[in-house]
Each structure stands twice: as C-alpha cells, then as structure tokens.
Amino acid sequence: MKALARRILDQYALNPYDSHGLLHWVRVHESGIEIASSSGADRDVVAYFALLHDSRRLNESRDPQHGPRGAEFARLLHKEGLVDLNPTQLQDLITAIAHHNSHDRVEDMDGNSITIGTCWDADRLDLPRVGTTVNPKYLYTQEAKRLANLWNHEDAYFITDDRRKLLKTWGATLPEKNQPF
C-alpha cells in the first residue's frame, strides 16, 4: 500500500490534510471496513476506494468530474500493478469511484451492489467534517445507519491509535498537532 499511497500523493493537487485528503481517506477506510464486517462487502475493494475515490479532486468545493477522473486513475494504477484486484473487483472499484459523487442509485449499478453501497456509505458517514449532517435516507446499509449516530460526536475526528497505524501503513506522515480535522 505504501507505493500506491506515494503514487497517489505525488499527483494529488490539493493539501493532503485538507477536508478531502488523507485524514478523510483514513476515516472512509475505517468505517468502510467496519460496515463490511456486517454487510459482507469486499474489503479489498473498500480499502482501495478509501485511498482513491477523492485522489483526483482539483478543488475542495464543487468538482463534479472528480469521480470519473478517479475511476480512470484507478484503472491506470491497476495497469501499473499498484492495484491488486481481479477483473470483477476492479469493475466494482471503478463503478464505486466513478459514481460516488453523483446521485445514481446503487441498485442501478452493474456489479456487486453491497460492495458499492458500502463504499458510498463510508464516504457519506464522513460528511459531518464539512458541516453536513448524515441523512440515513441516503445510506444503503444498516451498519452505516447505526454508525451515522456515532459519527456526529465531535471526538470522531481525533487521530486515534488505529488511525495513526493506518496512516503508517500508507507511509504517510501526520500533521504537526494532534487535533480534530
């Protein structure tokens, strides 16, 4: 994962510690894996989604094409050997990334909808960081609906030991202060 994270960060256009960067990716990974443990989603796809879905954003506000750009990037990284997924998993990853910021219903997507829905839920659960309350109506899994309540607590944004460890597996360094982000 270190080589992949390095490749992603080297081309990332924004501040990696701003609202769509590394620390958001850590939380998407964490809640995605937690949802997967009950939803049965593919954990490898979820883990790659966390790192890649916002990796091609060009600004911190409105950037409707960042999903499709991220999906294209995921395909390229798979060709480069940095994304180790079989063709079915890769298709789920690409679908999940391409449409994560549009309003397509997960049921309408080709592929494993529980994996795609888990990826989207994990991303949505992190909306309170930008002042948006999570609306359970837009969540696909029961586990995400349960987690949505926890995510609104302010300490949800501290860098915990688990988050620190995950950042380390990506070879990423921490911001100077241990503060909410």
Q: Which parts of this chain interact with Fe ion (CB under 5 A)?
A: 54, 101, 123
Q: Output 30 or 86, the one with its CB closest to Fe ion.
A: 30
In whole angstroms, how close is the CB of 177 to Fe ion at the nearest point? 23
In whole angstroms, how close is the CB of 19 to Fe ion at the nearest point? 9
Q: Output 17 or 161, the one with its CB closest to Fe ion.
A: 17
Q: Output 66 or 78, the one with its CB closest to Fe ion.
A: 66
In whole angstroms, how close is the CB of 87 to Fe ion at the nearest point? 24
CA distance 40 to 42: 7
Rounded to 5°, the CA angle 60-19-95 comes to 75
Q: Output 61 or 86, the one with its CB closest to Fe ion.
A: 61
Q: Output 89 or 101, the one with its CB closest to Fe ion.
A: 101
In whole angstroms, how close is the CB of 93 to Fe ion at the nearest point? 14
